């Protein structure tokens, strides 16, 4: 951009998946100390999550999601027609963030919709996909409008991401973001069961839906589980060296812990037990 002599009167249009919209938002926030940008999301994952909400970041070999900016796009376009050319694996990856939204909001109504329509959604039925896209945006919007800079409530959107982000990095990005989040959601369900916030039946329902969406629900054999436990400490929710997890309450709600926090401290021993079990 410098070589092409773009100045502060330029703008950036990001056309692509979450990697592109995250990178574009990061560049737009730093180039000339800030130029406007517009996202045109072409993957389900970007439509469901990455392109909306104003979090931008670049991934690195050491950790995901630690280098970035809060930077809102001027506008976001979701083009459902572009999903037609997505490989099935990428479509499934986007479903993970969608199922995450269904687990944490709408009192289970969106979850029921996904359970009823998963095959139709994967077949890209336009009316179903439009409803899903609207629901994803609406759930994220309601959280972000209350806590744009993640000082409290926004942490709920991190459901499944403590283990998810760590496993994405430890897999050396062999796991797609959504695949890693899917495994992270199951890890969080194990914790929620232990803490008594989710029944075994509810956990099985969520796990079954992730599987129907074509997502992994177990840690692959090639992952070094001890390395995964160590990597948990790169999570941005870690406070005073203590791991913290967001936990769902039943299906369609989230646990608010004492003091209004949405993430609870978890000992390394408990985290290790859950990871060894998965």
Ligand X SMILES: NC(=O)c1ccc[n+]([C@@H]2O[C@H](COP(=O)([O-])OP(=O)(O)OC[C@H]3O[C@@H](n4cnc5c(N)ncnc54)[C@H](O)[C@@H]3O)[C@@H](O)[C@H]2O)c1
Residues that bind ligand X (CB under 6 A): 16-20, 22, 42-43, 45-46, 49-50, 53, 55-56, 59, 64-65, 82, 85-86, 90, 93, 97, 177
Between 86 and 254, CB nearer to ligand X: 86
Between 64 and 135, CB nearer to ligand X: 64
Instruction: Return the axis-axis angle of helices 200-212 and 177-195, rounded to nearest 10°.
Output: 170
The token duo for 164 is 């998810």
Q: What separation in angstroms does the CA of 160 have from each of 51, 96, 97?
A: 19, 10, 9
Q: State the virtual CA torsion across 90, 155, 243, 23 in degrees, nearest 10.
A: 50
Between 177 and 231, CB nearer to ligand X: 177
What are the E-state strand segments in 5-95? 12-16, 37-41, 55-58, 67-70, 75-78
Give the C-alpha separation, 233 to 189, whole Å. 20
Nearest approach in angstroms of CB 194 to ligand X is 27
Nearest approach in angstroms of CB 50 to ligand X is 3
Between 20 and 122, CB nearer to ligand X: 20
* Paired strand residues for 58: 67
The token duo for 113 is 């919709």
Nearest approach in angstroms of CB 7 to ligand X is 27
Nearest approach in angstroms of CB 43 to ligand X is 3
In 3D space, the residue among 161, 138, 112 whose CA is nearest the CA of residue 47 turns out to be 138
Between 58 and 238, CB nearer to ligand X: 58
Distant-in-sequence, close-in-space partners of 175: CB < 8 Å, separation ≥ 6: 167, 168, 183, 216, 220
Nearest approach in angstroms of CB 56 to ligand X is 6
Strand order of the β-sheet with 37-41 is 12-16, 37-41, 75-78
Residue 213 backbone class (left: φ over 0; alpha: ψ -120 to 50; beta: rest): alpha
Which DSSP symbol is given to 175? Answer: S
Nearest approach in angstroms of CB 81 to ligand X is 9
Between 97 and 202, CB nearer to ligand X: 97
Between 198 and 213, CB nearer to ligand X: 213
Nearest approach in angstroms of CB 264 to ligand X is 22
Q: What are phi and psi of 27, to 5 degrees?
A: -65, -45
């Amino acid at each position: 951009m410098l070589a092409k002599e773009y100045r502060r009167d330029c703008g950036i249009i990001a056309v692509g998946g979450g990697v592109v919209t995250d990178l574009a938002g990061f560049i737009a926030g730093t180039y000339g100390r800030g130029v406007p940008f517009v996202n045109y999301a072409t993957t389900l994952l970007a439509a469901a999550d990455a392109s909306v909400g104003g979090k931008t970041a670049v991934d690195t070999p050491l950790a995901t999601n630690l280098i970035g900016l809060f930077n809102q796009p001027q506008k976001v376009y979701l083009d459902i027609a572009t999903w037609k050319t997505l490989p099935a694996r990428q479509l499934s990856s986007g479903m993970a963030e969608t199922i995450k939204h269904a687990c944490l909001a709408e009192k289970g109504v969106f979850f029921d919709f996904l359970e009823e329509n998963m095959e139709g959604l994967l077949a890209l039925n336009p009316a179903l996909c439009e409803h899903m896209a609207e629901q994803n945006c609406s759930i994220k919007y309601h959280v972000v409008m209350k806590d744009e800079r993640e000082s409290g409530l926004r942490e709920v959107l991190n459901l499944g991401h403590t283990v998810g982000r760590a496993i994405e990095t430890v897999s050396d990005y062999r796991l797609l973001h959504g695949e890693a989040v899917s495994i992270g959601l199951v890890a969080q369900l194990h914790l929620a069961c232990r803490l008594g916030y989710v029944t075994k039946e509810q956990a099985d329902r969520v796990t079954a839906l992730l599987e129907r969406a074509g997502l992994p629900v177990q840690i692959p054999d090639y992952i070094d589980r001890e390395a995964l436990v160590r990597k948990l400490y790169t999570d941005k929710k870690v406070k005073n060296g203590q791991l913290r997890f967001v936990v769902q309450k039943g299906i369609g709600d989230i646990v608010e812990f004492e003091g209004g926090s949405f993430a609870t401290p978890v000992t390394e021993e408990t985290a290790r037990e859950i990871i060894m079990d998965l």
